[in-house]
Copies of this chain bind each other. A is one copy, B any other.
Amino acid sequence: MAKTDTKGETARSSRASSRTTSTAASRPARRATSAKTETPYHHGALREALLQAAERVLERDGLAGLTLRAVAREAGVSHAAPTHHFGDLTGLLSELAAVGFRQFNAAMASACDTATTPLERALARPKAYVAYAQVHPGMYGIMFRTERLDYSRPSLHEAAEASFAGLANAIGMMRQEQISGDALTLNQGAAIARAWSMVHGFTTLLLDGRLKDILERLPEGTTAERLLEAMLTAPITTKLPM
C-alpha cells in the first residue's frame, strides 16, 4: 500500500548523523556560489542556491521543465526544501522574475551608456530590450507570464516598477518634458503606451516565432534587429501608425 515516492529522489547520504560536528565535507560539493566559497557547506545560502538552480533549469529545460521538484533536484536538496523559502511555486517564480527584472534593468542601463549620437541613444533601449529577451527567453517568458506571479511580493513589485519607471523616464526625456510623478496628459500616456507596446509586442511576437513569415519575405539576410530598427525609424506614410 502507498507505493508512491519511494525511488531515491535525492540520492544523498542522509546517514552518518550521531553528532560528529560535521561542519564541512560530507556534502557533494556545492557549486561555488561566489568567489572564496562563502557558506561552503549546506546551510546558509540555500535560498540563493535555489534561485540559481532555477535559472539553470529554466535555461536548460525551458518553462515546462521548471518545477519545484526539478529545482530542488538541481540544487541537491529534498523536494520540499523550497517550500520553506518560497512557500509556493508562485513564490519561487515570482522571486525568479524579480531576479530577471533586475538583470533586465542593469542591461538597459548599461546599454544607454555606450551610445553617442542621438539616433544611437534613441535606439539603444529598444535594442537592449529585444536583446535581453533573445539571450534570456526563459526569463523574459516568466517576467511577463503574469498568471503565475504574485506582484504583492515586494522584491518583484519593486524590480518591475523600476523597469517601468526607467521606460517612462526615457520617453519623457526624449520628448524633452519631465514626467511629473502623478499625472499624465493623454498624449504623454499615449507616447509611453506606444513605445512600450511596440517594443514589448515586437519582442513577444519574435520569441513566439510569429515574425518568421515577415522576416523570410524581406530582402535576403535581414535580421530581426534590422527590422526593429526600420520599424522605429521608417517614415510613417499613412498619418496613422496602423
Contact = CB atoms under 8 A, between A and B. Distances in A.
B233 A240 contact: yes
Nearest to A161: B213
B232 A242 contact: yes
Interface residues of A, number: 66
Interface stretch (A28-36, A47-55, A103-111, A183-191): A183-191
A196 interface: yes
Interface of A is mostly: helix
Contacts of A144: 204, 208
B242 A195 contact: yes
A104 to B, nearest CB: 14
Contact of A62 (B3, B147, B208, B241): B147
Interface in A216-237: 217-219, 222, 226-228, 230-237
A242 B174 contact: yes
Contact of A231 (B164, B190, B210, B233): B190
A186 B222 contact: yes
B189 A198 contact: no
B193 A211 contact: yes
Contacts of A185: 218-219
Interface of A: 1-3, 62-64, 122-123, 125-126, 141, 144, 146-147, 164, 171, 174-175, 182-187, 189-202, 204-205, 208-211, 213-215, 217-219, 222, 226-228, 230-238, 240-242
